[in-house]
Every structure is written in structure tokens, then in C-alpha cells.
Amino acid sequence: MQQQPGNGMQQNQQQGFISEPPQVISNKDHLYLNDMLSWNLLATKKAYFYAENCQDPEIKEAISQAGQMHQRHYERLLTHLKPTTEQPTVQ
């Protein structure tokens, strides 16, 4: 099967991007987010463990940076899952 040039770009431009998470999360989305949280948390823990036990300072720093990246991803996912406190007032 051959791809025609430009199809991927046209498809991406037509789809658009969502700047904010939806108000309601489907069960499938919930399971995916749960997996992503688990993967990032595990990667963070492993990176910090290996960095602690690494003797080479350059490798130790690279592993620490990878752990910090996964921790940032974990925390960012959590911010998307927090309920909004903005509720309309009834007059």
C-alpha cells in the first residue's frame, strides 16, 4: 500500500487540536489516563532509583533529568483530572 504525498499533513490540519480537556471523561479515556499516570509514576521511581545507584556523574544526571521529565508529565496529567471549582452562581 502506497501513501500519497501530503495526506498526513492534510489530515492533521483538518483534525485540529483541543486546547482544554473535556468536561466529561469517557470510561476509555479514564482507563488510558490511569495507565499514563501509572507509567509515568513507575518511570519516575525507576529513574530516581537508578540515579541514586549510578557511579558515573554524567549518566546519573541524564537519568535524573529523565525522572524529572516523567514527574512533570505525571503532575500535568493530574492537573487535567482535578475538577474545576468554578460553578455558576444562581440568582
What are 50-69's pLDDT values in tens digits? Answer: 999 999 999 999 999 999 99
**pLDDT: which is higher, 51 or 33:** 51
pTM, to two decimals: 0.64
Determine the angle formed by the axes of helices 57-81 and 27-52, rounding to 10 degrees: 160
Residue 41 lies in a domain: yes
Asked if residue 17 belongs to a domain, the reply is no
Q: Give residues with Cβ within 8 angstroms of 41, minimum separation 6.
A: 70, 74
**Range(s) of the domain holding residue 42:** 37-79
47 assigned to some structural domain: yes
Residue 13 has pLDDT above 50, yes or no: no
Tell me, yes or no, whether 84 lies in a domain.
Answer: no
pLDDT at 82 over 60: yes
In a domain, 1, yes or no: no
pLDDT band at 9 (very low <50, low <70, confident <90, very high): very low
Q: Provide the domain count of the chain.
A: 1
